[in-house]
Structure formats: C-alpha cells, structure tokens
Amino acid sequence: MSEVAHAAIGRARISAPALPRPSLTGVMAALLGLLLVVPIGAFLLVAVSPRLFAQGSSWITLSSFKDALSGPSLRALADTGIVGLGAALLALACALPLALLVDRTNLLGRRLWQLGVWALLLAPSYLVALGWERLFEPGGVLARAGVEPTAIRGLLYGPAGVIGVLGIKGVPFAFLAVSAALPGLGASFEHAARVHGAGRLRSLRTVIPILAPALWTALAIVFAESISDFGVAKTLAYTSGYPLATFSLYTAVDNEPIQFGLAAAIGCTLVGLAAIALLAQRRAMRGRSYQVLSGRSRPHSRHTMTPFAHAAALAGVVAFFAVAIGVPVFGAISASLLKDLGTLQQGFGLTLENYSRVLSSSSLYEPLLYSLRLAVIVSFAVTALAVPVARLLTRRSIGLVGRTLDMVLLGAVALPSIVMAAGYILVYNLPVVHSIGVALYGTTALLAVGYVAGALPNNARILVGPLAQLHDSLLDGARTHGATAAGAWRRVALPVLSRYIVWVWLYCFASTLLELPISELLYPAGQFPLSVAIARRLEAYDFAGGTAMEVLAVLGALLVTALVLGSYRLLTPAGWRRVGEARAAR
C-alpha cells in the first residue's frame, strides 16, 4: 500500500465521529424501565384499556373497577384497609416504647434487642403466621399435648389474629423510623420540662409530639406494608375465612380464565390506599415546624432507671420478643418434630422422621437446592446493580431522568410484589413479545428476573445513605494519581462500602430464599421454589413435612450468613474492616 493510501486511511480514522458512550443515567433508566416501569405500567393500564393488551374488546372502560368495587372484591378491599390501619396502630404502640427504651435508657441487652428487631424484619410474614397456626390450630401442637387453647384460637383465626400478626411484622419498620429521629432530638426539651416541675412521664408527653414526623412515617410505612402483604393473606387470613385484597388479586390471575382486568383494578385500589396514607401523613404535618436540631442542641444522656422500673421494662421487652419471635419459632420447631401432624392420628410422639423424609425425598429437598441456587445468583445480580443505581441517586446533579428514577424506585418499594409478578405474566405472555423471539414466560430465567426486580428497589435505597457520605474528592484524588475509574472504585470506594455491600447481599439472599408472592405466580412448571413447595405440602395436609422444610430453610439461611460474614472477616484486609466498623459506629 502506498504512502498516500496510508495517509488517507489515517485522515479517515481521525475524522470518523466517535460513537457516543452510554451514560450511567441512560443505562440505569433503560434497565429500570424494563424491570419495573414496563411490566407494572402495562399491568395497571390493562384495568382501563384491556384491548390494548388483547384482554378484552374495549379500548377505554371502567368495568374492571366496577367489579373490583363490588361484591367479594369490595369486602376484601374494606377488610384490607381495616387490617392495615389496625396493624399500623399496633406496630407503633409496640415500636415507640421499644425505641425509647433502647435509645434513651440503660436497658440491659440493648444490642440484643436491636438484633431481635432485625431478625423479625427478615422473617417472612407467612412463616410467622404458620408458626402461630401450627401451635394453636385444631389438632395442632397444643391440642396434641392435651391443651385446647380455645380462647386464643378464636382470636387468632379472625380479624384480631390477622391484625396481630401483621402488626408484629410491622414493628421493625416503625422501630427504624422512630429510632432514626431520636438521636437528633437532644436533651434540651426534656430538661426544660423537668425544670418547670414535670416528672418523667410528663416530660415524655412533651417530647413525643416533637416526633410527629417519625410517628406519621411509621404509620404510613406499616400501613403500606400491611395492605400489600401476601404471606398472611394466603395463610392465616385465608384459613380464617377473612379474604384480603392481595389474595383476591392472586386468585384473579392464578385461576382460569385469567382476569387481568379485575386483578389490575384491585392493584390500582391497593396503590390508591397507600397513596391515601401518604397524603394523610402530609396533611397532618402541613403548616407545622419540627426543626429541633441546631448548633445549640445538646446530646441526650441515657436515663438510669430504678431497679423496679428496669425490671418492669426488661420484662416487657422480653415478653414482646417471646410473642413476636418465640411463639412462631416454638410452633414451627415443635410441629416439625411431631409424627403425623395434619392427619387424624393423635398423640404427642416426638420424632426426627420428618427431617429424614425431607432430606431423603427429591420432591422435598430439590426445592431447597433450587431456591438456594436462585437466591445466590439473584443476590449477586442485585448487589451488582444496586451500587450503580445508588451512585446515580447520590450525585449532586442527577437531572430530570435521575429524579424520575428516584420516584420509580420509591414507588416500587411500596408496591405489592404480587402486582409486579402479575405484570410480568401479562407482558411476557403477550403474542408480540413471543413474535420478537423473547420466550421467557414459564422459565426459571423469568422467575430470576422477577426476583431481581422485586429486590432491587429496597437494596438500592439501603446503599443510598453510605454512598451519599462518600465524597467525590476521594475518587478524584485516586484518578489524579493515575488510577482508572474502576481502579479508583476498587481501591477507595470498595473498602469503605464493603461492609454495607455484604449486608445488602445477605439481606437479598434471605428475602429471596423464602420469597412467596413472586414465586407463586412465576415459578416454571415442574420446578417449585422453596416457598411454593412448602405451600403445596401444607395444602396436602403434610404439616410436619412442610414445617420441617421451613426449619431447614431458616437453618440454611443462617449457615450461609455465618459463612459469608466469617469469610468477610478472614479474607478481607484488616483496614477494610476498620473503615467499615468506624462508619458503623457513627
């Protein structure tokens, strides 16, 4: 080739326009659009335009809302609202004194009680409900032992029991909301009340109204979590003959013929109920100021209780955790050790036969291995996506797209998982989707994608706080000294964030392993996730075998947690752990 030709090629390379590199905002917008906006938006839209998705003959109609707001669906919606309100009030009534005792007093075992709150947060609601059922149901553990708890059974199988279980499950959300506000309250208001002659209780009555934003937030969060819960709706509420809206939505999608319009209308009403709670929160605080943190604020000192008050407070906290965690755990373990539970056989013979049956039967242990593999894969995928999503949300100038993504993630946190799963069924079963070669419906891949979509919003929000505290100058300094963008993150950001990333992975793993609503709607034929397999065993009245699967699953989750935390401590440099511990201490 001549020199002239080489020169011409060189000029062409110089003048050729460089392809634009995709921005982080654009990539995350496309990803979250496919994972969240498209399936959820399409599902909710089918309620008013069924013909758009080949689900009816009308382009615009409100007939689905007419069905959703009449008959059994209206009753289920009304019961859901009552349950949500009752659960929110009960959760706040338990969480407020618990948070005050842990944060403001010298209560013995404060770290242990905080750990108990996290354990309750991670426990799936349907496992908590099943633990109560196995203990108090007719022919259950207590009945086999010769004790007939008629009074408690009458309360459990009804609105009071449903509200109680959901209220207990809502305590961690209310506790975290109140605990986040207590450190900024300071001690000046309590001191001022005491100077003017108020006693301890009167001082407390002065301080609590200042916590109104946190209290209303707790009520709104627990209400939204309770009305969107599917675990209790499918177990205790269904057994009690007290149908809730999420179960009505599930039956509309799970039965033949599938009623996507009715399901979508029910989903819209659930979103509307959550919106009403948020509007009530804003209206209650409108026109009032709660700014109490200033340069003159003094940190509070822990109140030293008298021996009698300390004993009474400790007894109350122990009683709460005994009811919240001890009763369902005892119910599950004792039920798993009974022979022929769920049959007409009587007696209280203890045996390990149920565990042997689970570990030796492929139909029982294969779901456990299947869900374990999926939980590990999904946890890595969610962690890899949550870091860049959280990084995008913590930029100083995220732009309109970034703010929109923030709203999408916030809305997805409050959206019932069963609505998301129903959206995946609708979208990936459309003929147009199959015509372009996307055949995910009824596959493990779609189930995994549903898990990722359900877990990403929560876990991304968890990382927003730690990433917001990571100053850009640290990364800029590494780049100035020659590090690449990836190298700067590996050398600077990863040591600072490693502890939080590990906890996000573990939180995602635990929640995916025993996830129920998405599993129920998206599992592939012949391959049962663990939660679905447990539900099938219980529906077949194999209470002992299903409960043994529950216990083994929880033990497996605890074992994986111990292995991951132990590996982190053994394999990571000591400097990483010191940085993480210092941040956690703050």
Residue that wins the pLDDT comparison between 355 and 10: 355
Q: How far apart are CA 455 and CA 461, in angstroms?
A: 10
Q: How far apart are CA 327 and CA 48, in angstroms?
A: 45
Contact 358, 545 (CB under 8 A): yes
376 and 418 fall within a common domain:
yes
237 and 381 fall within a common domain:
no
Span 457-500, pLDDT tens digits: 877 777 766 666 565 556 556 556 665 666 666 666 666 677 77
Mean pLDDT of 394-423: 70
Q: Which amino acid is at 277?
A: A
Q: Which amino acid is at 164?
A: G
Span 350-368, pLDDT tens digits: 778 878 888 887 777 788 8
Q: What are the tokens at 281?
A: 């929160």
247 within some domain? yes
Closest CA to 417 of 537, 324, 512: 512
DSSP 3-state of 350: strand
Rounded to the nearest angstrom, the gap between the alpha carbon of residue 146 and the centroid of all alpha carbons in its chain is 38
184 within some domain? yes
Q: Who contacts 284 (Cβ-Cβ below 8 Å, separation ≥6)?
A: 212, 216
Whether the pLDDT of residue 447 is over 70: the answer is: yes
Span 507-540, pLDDT tens digits: 889 888 888 888 888 888 888 898 888 888 888 7
pLDDT of residue 377: 93
Mean pLDDT of 360-386: 86
35 and 179 fall within a common domain:
no
CATH number reported for the structural domain that contains residue 219 in this entry: 1.10.3720.10
Whether the pLDDT of residue 86 is over 90: the answer is: yes
Residue 386: count of CB within 10 angstroms of its CB: 26
221 and 361 fall within a common domain:
no
Q: How far apart are CA 417 and CA 453, in angstroms?
A: 9
47 and 74 fall within a common domain:
no
pLDDT of residue 482: 61
Q: What are the tokens at 482?
A: 């020659």
| Burial of 334 per CB tally in 10 Å (0-12, 13-18, 19+) | buried
Contact 393, 460 (CB under 8 A): yes
148 and 163 fall within a common domain:
yes
**Of 351, 366, 387, which one is at a domain's C-terminal end?**
351
Looking at the structure of the chain, the number of domains it has is: 2
34 and 102 fall within a common domain:
no
* Tokens 């659009």 belong to residue: 33
Q: How far apart are CA 202 and CA 215, in angstroms?
A: 19
pLDDT of residue 8: 46
Q: How far apart are CA 460 and CA 5, in angstroms?
A: 53
Instruction: Tell me 305's DSSP state.
Output: -
Q: How far apart are CA 225 and CA 264, in angstroms?
A: 19
Look at phi and psi of residue 139 and say left if phi exceeds 0, alpha if psi is from -120 to 50, else beta. Answer: left
- The answer to which of 191-200, 328-337, 423-432 has the lowest mean pLDDT is 191-200
Dihedral of alpha carbons 518, 520, 522, 524, sign: positive
Percent of residues in the chain assigned helix, strand, coil, to nearest 5: 75, 0, 25
529 within some domain? yes
Host domain of residue 227: 67-287+304-351
Q: What are the tokens at 230?
A: 């599917």
Span 126-145, pLDDT tens digits: 888 888 888 888 877 888 87
Q: What are the tokens at 294?
A: 């200033």
Whether the pLDDT of residue 164 is over 80: the answer is: yes
| Burial of 123 per CB tally in 10 Å (0-12, 13-18, 19+) | buried
Span 263-310, pLDDT tens digits: 888 888 888 887 777 677 666 555 444 444 334 444 456 677 788 888
58 within some domain? no
Residue 256: count of CB within 10 angstroms of its CB: 5
* Tokens 């916590």 belong to residue: 211
Residue that wins the pLDDT comparison between 28 and 251: 251
pLDDT grade for 225, boundaries at 50, 70 and 90: confident
192 and 202 fall within a common domain:
yes
Span 29-41, pLDDT tens digits: 777 778 877 888 8
Q: How far apart are CA 497 and CA 502, in angstroms?
A: 9
439 and 549 fall within a common domain:
yes
Whole-number average pLDDT of the chain: 76
Residue 449: count of CB within 10 angstroms of its CB: 21
**Of 333, 351, 369, which one is at a domain's C-terminal end?**
351
Whether the pLDDT of residue 344 is over 60: the answer is: no
Percent of the chain residues topping a pLDDT of 90: 7
Whether the pLDDT of residue 10 is over 60: the answer is: no
**Of 295, 325, 351, which one is at a domain's C-terminal end?**
351
Q: How far apart are CA 148 and CA 128, in angstroms?
A: 21
8 within some domain? no
395 and 358 fall within a common domain:
yes
Q: Who contacts 53 (Cβ-Cβ below 8 Å, separation ≥6)?
A: 42, 45, 46, 260, 426, 430
Contact 514, 530 (CB under 8 A): yes
Q: How far apart are CA 395 and CA 24, in angstroms?
A: 11
Q: What are the tokens at 39?
A: 């399936």
189 and 281 fall within a common domain:
yes
pLDDT of residue 89: 92
Residue 311, H or E segment: helix 307-321
Mean pLDDT of 385-398: 73
pTM value > 0.85: no
Mean pLDDT of 442-446: 87
DSSP 3-state of 209: helix
Please compute, for residue 571, the number of CA atoms within 13 A of its CA located in the half-sphere on the CB side. 9
pLDDT of residue 508: 87
pLDDT of residue 438: 76
Contact 129, 232 (CB under 8 A): yes
100 and 131 fall within a common domain:
yes
Q: How far apart are CA 327 and CA 371, in angstroms?
A: 26
6 within some domain? no
What are 338's strand-pairing partners? 350
227 within some domain? yes
297 within some domain? no
- The answer to which of 59-68, 202-211, 305-314 has the lowest mean pLDDT is 202-211
DSSP 3-state of 567: helix
Whether the pLDDT of residue 161 is over 80: the answer is: yes
Whether the pLDDT of residue 576 is over 70: the answer is: no
- The answer to which of 176-190, 257-271, 288-302, 336-350 has the lowest mean pLDDT is 288-302
Q: How far apart are CA 84 and CA 470, in angstroms?
A: 38
Contact 367, 170 (CB under 8 A): no
Q: What are the tokens at 171?
A: 């305590």
Q: How far apart are CA 478 and CA 493, in angstroms?
A: 10
Residue 419: count of CB within 10 angstroms of its CB: 26
- The answer to which of 65-79, 430-444, 491-505 has the lowest mean pLDDT is 491-505
Contact 207, 292 (CB under 8 A): no
Closest CA to 465 of 390, 411, 361: 390
Instruction: Tell me 574's DSSP state.
Output: H
Residue 584: count of CB within 10 angstroms of its CB: 11
Q: What are the tokens at 184?
A: 């900024």
Closest CA to 274 of 167, 65, 415, 106: 415
pLDDT grade for 208, boundaries at 50, 70 and 90: low
Contact 337, 352 (CB under 8 A): yes
pLDDT of residue 319: 93
